[in-house]
Amino acid sequence: MMLAIQQPQEEQVAPAANINRSMISVEDLSLVFDTNDGPVNALSNINLNINEGDFVSFIGPSGCGKTTLLRVIADLEQATSGSIKVDGTSPKDARLNRLYGYVFQAPGLLPWRTIQQNCALPMEISGQSGAHQQKQIDKNLKMVGLQDFHNKFPWQLSGGMQQRASIARALCINPQLLLMDEPFGALDEITRDHMNMELLRIWQETQKTVVFVTHSIDEAVLLSTHIVVMSPRPGRIVKVIESPLPRLKTLALRDQTAFHQLAAEIRSALANDHAID
């Protein structure tokens, strides 16, 4: 459920409502890229349902189509066949309704804008008031630990800092659906832990739906309600694992056996399909 932005009190913890309403449903979806030397089957016969309030991670070897699937959801790529519904409508309508926020694999900050101005960009576009913009920027930059860098230009930041800035930018518009493509790839463990917990907090508080691409099994286990294991050539879903862990998680969870069991299950699903050399 989309929270009205002007009513921050609603951002407080709320019951897990509507848990069975489907947010994303994919049926028999395939996507073929035409390239100069023949077609590439990036996605093949994908079937997937994501309910509102779910936290779903895509995991799989490099090149298995994680990014591509996320892009189809975001209406950045068109499926070759099959159907997809986002929030009950087409991906295009969902996009036009500004339903989601997307964190790209690369930071993609505009080099002529400071970090603060970069964060303001999506809000300027959806026409939000200056005061609201400033509030959101301050809150989210603080959250990602960049409050002191708001006046720097992107190229003056380290790689990890740029990535955090791009996360803050996506969070500023407080979208109902968060699409994140390896958002924490360039972060150190502690920052990553911190960001993981912040993300969990935001997800729990606002009941967003999150679709999350990662390379890290631990991260997938720590965050997700569902883990989608994918495999390449052609890109397809090997297994969808529902997490037995509670929705409310802490870092301490990592020391529990249930955590390790789930990690082992993912690892073996991945290893079955992995051939590096």
Partner 1 sequence: MKNLNIGASWLPLASMILAIIGIWYLAALIMNGNQLINQLERKKQQWSYSQIASQAYQVKRPMLPAPHQVALELKKSVFDTSVSSKRSLVHHSLITLNSTMLGFLLGSVVGIVIAIGIVHNKTLEASLMPWIIASQTIPILAIAPIIVVVLGALNITGVLPKAVISMYLSFFPVTIGMVKGLRASDTLHVELMRTYNASALQTFWKLRWYSAQPYLFASLKVAIAAALVGAIVAELPTGAQGGLGSRLLSGSYYGQTQQIWAALIMAALLGSLLVWIVNLAETALLKRRGGLSNA
Partner 2 sequence: MPKYVLTIIYLCLLAGQVVVVSSSEQGFYQQYPGLLILLALAAYAVTALLSQLTQLAETHPTYAAVTKVLVPSLFAFMLLLTWQSIVVGFAVSAVLLPAPSAIFYSLSNNLPMFWADFKQTYLKAVLAGYFLGCSAGFIVAQLAVKSRFLRLGLVPLGNFMSAIPIVGIAPIMVMWFGFDWQSKAAVIVVMTFFPMFINTLAGLQSTDAIHNDLMHTYAANKSQIFIKSQLPQALPFIFNALKLNSTLALIGAIVAEFFGTPIVGMGFRISTEVGRMNMDMVWATIVVAAIAGSLSYGALALLERSLLFWHPSFRGTHKR
Residues making contact with partner 1 (CB under 8 A)? 36, 74-76, 95-98, 100-102, 104, 106, 108, 110-112, 114, 121-122, 124-126, 153, 155, 173
Under the criterion CB under 8 A, does residue 276 sit at the interface with a second copy? yes
**Could you give the CA distance from residue 205 to residue 10 in angstroms, rounded to a whole number?**
9
Element (H, E) at 60: none
Under the criterion CB under 8 A, does residue 145 sit at the interface with a second copy? yes
Which residues in the 68-97 window bind a second copy by CB under 8 A? none
Under the criterion CB under 6 A, does residue 33 sit at the interface with ligand ATP? yes
Tokens representing residue 273 in the block: 């399909």
Nearer to Mg ion, 60 or 91 (CB): 60
**Could you give the CA distance from residue 200 to residue 249 in angstroms, rounded to a whole number?**
8
Q: Coil, helix or strand for 37?
A: coil
Report CA torsion sign: 90, 91, 92, 93.
positive
Nearer to Mg ion, 63 or 130 (CB): 63
**Could you give the CA distance from residue 141 to residue 133 in angstroms, rounded to a whole number?**
12
Out of Mg ion, a second copy, partner 2, none, which partner does residue 74 contact, by CB within 5 to 8 A per kind?
A: partner 2
130 Cβ contact list (under 8 Å, min separation 6) = none
Q: How far is the CB of 258 from partner 1 (least distance, A)?
A: 36
Which residues in the 58-87 window bind Mg ion by CB under 5 A? 67
Q: How far is the CB of 158 from Mg ion (least distance, A)?
A: 5
Which residues in the 11-70 window bind partner 2 by CB under 8 A? 33-35
Out of a second copy, ligand ATP, Mg ion, none, which partner does residue 235 contact, by CB within 5 to 8 A per kind?
A: ligand ATP
Under the criterion CB under 6 A, does residue 39 sit at the interface with ligand ATP? no
**Strand bridging mode 100-103 / 177-181:** parallel
Q: How many helices (H) and strands (E) does the chain have?
A: 8, 9
Under the criterion CB under 8 A, does residue 277 sit at the interface with partner 2? no
How far is C-alpha 168 from the geometric centre of its chain's CA atoms? 13
199 Cβ contact list (under 8 Å, min separation 6) = 210, 223
Q: Please answer whether residues 115 and 192 qualify as being in contact, where contact means their C-beta atoms are separated by less than 8 angstroms.
A: no
Out of Mg ion, ligand ATP, partner 1, none, which partner does residue 157 contact, by CB within 5 to 8 A per kind?
A: ligand ATP
Nearer to partner 2, 15 or 111 (CB): 111
Q: How many residues sit in the footprint of a second copy (CB under 8 A)? A: 47
Under the criterion CB under 6 A, does residue 35 sit at the interface with ligand ATP? yes
